[in-house]
Amino acid sequence: MSQHPTLPKIIFMALHDTSSKEHAIVKKIFFDHLEVGVSTLNAAFSKLTPEEPIRTEWLLVTCIGMSVFPFVMPPVLRELLGVGNSQTELEALGKHQQAIFNTFLMRLTHQEAQ
């Protein structure tokens, strides 16, 4: 998305405008991908007994938020948080987010092994 930083805004506009032809297309893409994501995560979580239950749908909201928010972040927050929007900075942020997600997955994997 760093090469097309306005794409999330365009997608959001299409999802909010339920009367547009783009809405149906984007909605179908989201539902197709979310169904796969939810079923995959539910299968993984079914093997675990975490201390606090993890809602798959909410985990996906977190992942989507981590992925999309940097592109739709208001300039005032970008300035306050010191988050740039150059391709280099967005790629570094993506790597950071991947590290967070990998840590989460390792924790789940470790719990599964116990």
Give the tens place of pLDDT for each residue, 31-87.
877 777 777 777 777 766 666 677 778 888 888 888 888 888 888 998 898 888 888
What is the distance between the alpha carbons of residues 102 and 110, in angstroms, rounded to a whole number? Answer: 12
Residues ≥6 apart with Cβ < 8 Å to 34: 60
Any idea which residue has 């009367």 for tokens? 19
Q: Pick left, alpha or beta for residue 110 (phi over 0 → left; psi -120 to 50 → alpha; otherwise beta).
A: alpha
